Amino acid sequence: MSLSSEALIGLRRVALSAYAKPPVAALPGGFLTRKRGQGVEVADVREYVAGDDIRHLDRGTTARTGRLHIRQFQEERDRVSLLVADFRAPMFWGMQRAFLSVAAAEALVLIGWHLIESGGRVGLLAITVDTPVIIPPRGRTRGMLDVIGGLVQAHAISLTAIQAGQDEGRTLAQALTSAERLTPPGSEIIIASGFDQPGDALADRLDQLAHRRSPRLVLITERKTREMPRGWYPIRFSDGQQKRVYLDGTESEDSDIYQKIDAHPALVLNASDPIDTTGRRISAAFSERYAA
């Protein structure tokens, strides 16, 4: 199943509706949102009250209304997030709505649109079965469109290579070696993967990233629906190879929202869920982190 630029761009509506009422400030563990402070970007204009700094007087609004108005400023902070999409061979299967690879791209785009709207910068590391696709962090809509273009390009590279029987077989730990140098200290690294073939060094790699950055894990999985009984099911990859997966009868709506991967919490997303459900699940998960 291929990725569509038009479909990923259209996820902006889903992302903004899911985050219609975002938290008003950043708390540990979640994504950063707008926070008012003494920066250089105007966040709001309100009427003057006793004790306000007259140096922040908004002359235009004051002249129009005949009443004193004060500018409030948005706190200055360089919010950089690297979106990491796992497009290795184990991600190219799916039982119902989409491949895990497509669901991973959708989840990252939903998160990315929110980050852009919150004033942050986003970049991309798309892990393929060949050479990774890298997009440096940029802000505004142009930055998100670059990320979407990179996702579509990387997904096509992997799909073509897998269909041709080409796969370097790199572990996820090996593929993440470049993530640290692509981001400044203090940034977030958001990894969407099925975490198959992680490699023995994944725990050390995540711990290393967590030393001066904030790794966020998104586990893309496939859960059964009501129509499918518990048991083993054969899955055929796009290159003709087969794999057997066990569906344990756990339904996506009732499952835990987090799962531990090498001691790091991972948000669990079901590739078979409708995209609106995925958007709400992402929003709810990060809202919980703010409140933690």
Q: Output the tens digit of pLDDT for each of the chain's 292 residues.
A: 678 999 999 999 998 886 664 443 333 345 444 444 444 455 567 888 877 778 888 888 889 899 998 887 654 456 899 999 999 999 999 888 899 999 999 999 999 998 998 889 999 999 999 899 999 999 999 999 999 999 999 999 999 999 888 887 889 999 999 998 999 988 999 999 999 999 999 999 999 999 889 999 999 998 754 455 666 666 555 455 566 655 555 444 445 688 999 999 999 999 999 999 999 888 877 654 433 3
Largest CA distance in the chain: 74
**Helices within the chain (DSSP H only):** 5-18, 59-65, 100-117, 140-163, 172-175, 202-212, 275-291
Number of neighbours of residue 131 by Cβ within 10 angstroms? 11
CA distances to 29, 224, 260 from 265, rounded to whole Å, are 10, 22, 5
Distance CA 227, CA 236 (A): 20
Distance of CA 7 to the CA centre of its chain: 16
Residue 96, token pair as written in the block:
């119902």
Residue 227 contacts by C-beta under 8 Å, 6 or more apart in sequence? Answer: none
- For 180, phi then psi, to 5°, come to -65, -40
Place of tokens 């184990």: 90
Has this prediction a pTM greater than 0.75? Answer: no
